[in-house]
Copies of this chain bind each other. A is one copy, B any other.
Amino acid sequence: MRIEAARRRRGPRDAEATRAAILDAARAEFAESGLGGGRIDAIADRAGCNKAMIYHYFGSKDALFSAVLEHNYVLIRAAEAGLNLARLAPEDAVRTFVEFSFDYVTANPEFIQLLNEENLHRGRHIDPDHARQLNSPVIGALAGVLARGAEQGLFRADADPQQLYITIASICYFPVSNRYTLSAIFDLPRDGEMLRQRRQQAIDVIFGYLRP
């Protein structure tokens, strides 16, 4: 039985494990059905606990969504930080970052679904102070890379790191988050091939733009 299995995996009365299981279950549920459509019942089932636990640990559905969002922001920011762009040559750094951005959302489409949901709700579950703090490192790293690239004559000199970041995110995230409508509209190649093409296109577009 699934509940028993979950229970066995983490042992009874293990607060931290229960919290984590709920967070995981909620991410999956909210990504699949949105905030309005996600069910507390379903989250409890997926987490192998009962509904009261969710209220015990998180207080409310909205608060749970906030926690999920923040948790998943922390995860991607940590992964970005691990890229260590500063130690790479400018062109390698840009390529690495674009590829990472593309690969991360391809591997974690739930992350963008959560972002979209949050935007539908006008960003009311996100704490700007915290979000901004989380984000600054990567923009800083990108700024350094662009400056070095411009200095070496590899990149155009007028590229803004923040704008570039948004452009990279757009090109990498949009085709994943909108894959169903795009598939309906276009006669797209089967999954793997379509991703390979989009990944290459992302790199081409960014480098095409950055050429001096």
Chain A residues within CB distance 8 Å of chain B: 33-37, 113, 115-123, 126-128, 131-132, 134-135, 139, 156, 160, 162-163, 166-167, 169-171, 173-175, 177-187, 197-198, 201, 204-205, 208-211
Least CB separation from A31: chain B residue: B120
Which of B131, B163, B180 meets A119, CB within 8 Å?
B180
The complex places the Cα of A119 from the Cα of B182 at a distance, in Å, of: 9
Could you say which of A35, A175, A209 has the most chain B C-beta atoms within 10 Å of its C-beta? Answer: A209
Cβ A123 vs Cβ B181 within 8 A: yes
- Across the interface, which residues of B come within 8 angstroms of A197, CB to CB? 163
The main secondary structure of chain A at its interface with chain B is helix
A131 touches B167 (CB 8 A): no
In the complex, chain B residues whose CB is within 8 Å of the CB of A185: 128, 131-132, 134-135
Which 4 A-B residue pairings sit nearest by Cβ, starting from the closest?
A123-B180, A36-B37, A208-B209, A170-B174
Interfacial chain B residues near A170, Cβ < 8 Å: 170-171, 173-175
Report Cα–Cα, A178/B122, bound state, in Å: 9
Q: Contacts A167-B171, A204-B209 hold; do A184 and B123 have CB atoms under 8 A apart?
A: yes
Q: 6 other contacts beyond A36-B36, A131-B184, A174-B174, with CB at 8 A cut-off?
A: A34-B34, A115-B178, A123-B180, A128-B184, A131-B185, A166-B174
State in angstroms the CA–CA spacing of A182 and B174 once bound together.
Answer: 14
Question: If the complex has contacts A126-B184, A167-B201, A198-B163, are A178 and B119 also in contact, measured as CB distance less than 8 A?
Answer: yes
Contact call B162/A186, Cβ cutoff below 8 A:
yes
Which residue of B has the minimal Cβ distance to A178? Answer: B119
Chain B residues positioned under 8 Å from A120 (CB to CB): 33-34, 37, 113, 116-117
Q: Are B37 and A184 in contact (CB under 8 A)?
A: no
CB distance from A198 to the nearest CB of B (A): 7
Contacts of A201 in B (CB 8 A): 160, 163, 166-167
Q: How far is the CB of A115 from chain B (nearest CB, A)?
A: 5
- Check B36–A181 contact: CB distance below 8 A: no
